[in-house]
Structure 1
Amino acid sequence: MKTTNIKDIARLAGVGVSTVSRVINGHPDVKDETREAVHAVIEKYNYIPNNSARNLKRTESSNIGILIKGLYNPFFAKMIQTIEKTLAKEGFSVIIHYNTEEHRDIDAAYEFVVEKRLRGIICLGGDFDQVTDVDIERLDIPIVFTSTEVPSGASTALFSSVIIDNEKAAYRATEYLYEIGHRHIGLLTSGGEDRSVGTYRTNGYLKLLGNKGIPKQEHYFEWGSYTFESGYEATKRLLEKAPDLTAIVVISDVMAIGAAKAAKEFGREIPETLSIIGFDDIDYAAYYNPPLTTIRQPVEEIASASAEILLNVIQGEATHQHMVYETQLVQRASCAELL
């Protein structure tokens, strides 16, 4: 007979694995009716909670998790390869999970830890700004936040981070367009559940406008997700309501390539009648026609540092560390000077 596990209890009670664990471990942040429902299922199926997170920290484990926000993203592809190579040298295996669920990313991380019995975890992207000490402590394994924004309300002694200054980088992208004569500058950013990277890059754009005395135009904004199709559709909406735009800042190269396709369909030649600047410098950016001006992130350095920091913490050779890498403006052919 199949042994009932924590995922079965969660399914039968109609809650998440993290909620079942909180009930088992006596956390107060669970509604009474939810707690009672979980206990009823546990009693009915005679479940013995011996797989809670505090019992999952096994020194013999060689599995490291990489939690990636959303579906496949070209920006993370090279990063994953570097992380895998670095960890493999020390005898660790990598398990990758793409989180497409609507619940909190930190809860997805917890469920990943519980299911795979991970020794450590690296989170690529995602929204962790509101994560608390309690959230991190219940993971009970070392965690590194990479290419996202770090928790603002949690102790930095509990986690590591390897990031860039997203606001500063977006400011520089917008400033470049200003320097070459553009004043009608739109923004293609992320919305919905993205409260971290997209928000900070938007703030960088707005800060440049404010410093240069350029009024914020609500119709110069459009929102999408980190896909080619989303960038394409969002740009069509943007150009329909703001045909006077001469340039667009796009918060990812993937979206920027989609934006360029939409612009051409609107009869806007790039860069002759519309300049586009992206973000990340993925491999596609240099080979697109025209090659994409963008903000380069040092992908391999970020990935290598993330893996090495995690290894050092796991092996007890160092405490948690926090690194901020500089970005670089890469000028190609998708932006033109306004005379």
Structure 2
Amino acid sequence: MKKKSFNIKNIAKISGFGVSTVSRVINNHPDVSDKTREKILKVIKEYNYIPNNSARNLKKTETNNIGLLVKGIYNPFFSEIVQIIENRINEAGYSMIIHYKYSDINDIGSAIQFIKEKRLKGLIYLGGDFNHEDDEQLKYIDTPIVITSPNIIEEVYRKTFSSIVIENEESAYDAVNYLIELGHKDIGVIAAEIKGNSIGELRLNGYKRALKENDIEILEDYIKVGDFTFESGFREMNKLLDDRRDISAVFSVSDIMAIGAAKAILKRGLKIPEDISIIGFDGIEYSHYFHPSISTIEQPKEQFAHKSIDILIDLIDKKIEHQHIVLDTKLLKRKSCKHI
């Protein structure tokens, strides 16, 4: 079969699936099983097929637009980064198009669709999760992508995008170890999204490692799971207090949930930090102005923003190859933790 005559019908025939199914895979529709998608992508790779309506379109970038794709709209941590990025994009002479993604389904598919629809010059993705299943799709994209503050699994073919991350497990370990240094042993945790190598799981792993290395027993009823909202922090803290009234400290894997948890503690007539110490994660502005101000692990928001746009523009100008940067976090000791 000559390469010039190779088309979507050939892919369908070789893979054993219908033309419509192959088309849905090429266009990154979510309504295709992982097994089917894998088989079709394998054929596409084997025959070096370049889909007319996906990869080729991505190469014909004619706009001056840089896209900003944000996973979730409710996290003020991202809103502070967005403002800096927008200013930098404008200063560099580009236009910014922002899109918020609410679903947890198919992060890479959302990125590709956004690039294709808006014919983007480059893309910054705040908060997406990419894994090894995305390798084949990423290889078809010439548009530069910078993924900021996500969890990126090491097996991903990382020559196809740039990333700026933190060490989630190590930073969570530092937070819990600080509580232990203050004399706390009965330490609860409000976790989130406990699934294969997610940010929530990595931060929970840091909690567990700190307890283990200090010979403190890990108890399942000390572990509650929220969903990165004020409401879930409030709800799970109440469950924690109902199950374990002996706790002296709580680690929340986000400041948003830490504020919700603090509200639950205060509503029960307990005092922070006199009765219960609490520490969060992210370093959002709200945590500073809460009373008492909440101790937290501060992520370097300004560095995330500036490095994201610096790398993206250099990639657009073909000055550099893809970069992968790990930034340091900082423990902010405030009024919500005390020595016992």
Q: Same fold (TM over 0.5)?
A: yes
Deviations 1:159-200 (CA, angstroms, capped at 9, x unpaired): 111111111110000000000000011111112668421111
Identity of aligned residues (%): 43
User: Which amino acid in structure 2 is aligned with residue 121 of structure 1?
Assistant: L
CA distance in 2, matches of 1:191, 1:185: 20
List structure 1 runs of 4+ shifted beyond 6 angstroms. 13-17
Equivalent residue number for residue 19 of structure 1: 25
Equivalent residue number for residue 316 of structure 1: 318
Q: Give, in angstroms, the shift of residue 57 of structure 1.
A: 2.6
Equivalent residue number for residue 112 of structure 1: 114
- Mean alpha-carbon deviation: is it higher for 299-308 or for 97-106? 97-106
Q: Give, in angstroms, the shift of residue 131 of structure 1.
A: 4.4
CA distance in 2, matches of 1:103, 1:17: 19
CA distance in 1, matches of 2:195, 2:307: 27
Structure 2 runs not aligned, ≥5 long:
1-18, 42-50
CA gap of 1:250–1:129, structure 2 versus 1, over 3 A, is farther
Equivalent residue number for residue 128 of structure 2: 126
The answer to whether the 8 Å contact 2:66/2:95 transfers is yes
CA gap of 1:66–1:151, structure 2 versus 1, over 3 A, is farther
User: Which amino acid in structure 2 is aligned with residue 234 of structure 1?
Assistant: E
The answer to whether the 8 Å contact 1:126/1:196 transfers is no
Q: SS of the residue aligned with 2:265?
A: helix
The 5 A counterparts of 1:1-339 are: 19-21=25-27, 30=36, 51-191=53-193, 195-338=197-340
CA gap of 1:60–1:206, structure 2 versus 1, over 3 A, is same
State the TM-score, normalized to the length of structure 1.
Answer: 0.84
CA distance in 2, matches of 1:304, 1:268: 41
User: Which amino acid in structure 1 is aligned with residue 234 of structure 2?
Assistant: Y
CA gap of 1:59–1:119, structure 2 versus 1, over 3 A, is same
The answer to whether the 8 Å contact 1:113/1:139 transfers is no
CA gap of 1:85–1:249, structure 2 versus 1, over 3 A, is same
CA gap of 1:274–1:16, structure 2 versus 1, over 3 A, is farther
The answer to whether the 8 Å contact 1:53/1:138 transfers is yes
Q: Give, in angstroms, the shift of residue 321 of structure 1.
A: 0.7
User: Which amino acid in structure 1 is aligned with residue 66 of structure 2?
Assistant: I
Q: Give, in angstroms, the shift of residue 16 of structure 1.
A: 11
Q: Give, in angstroms, the shift of residue 274 of structure 1.
A: 0.6
Equivalent residue number for residue 9 of structure 1: none
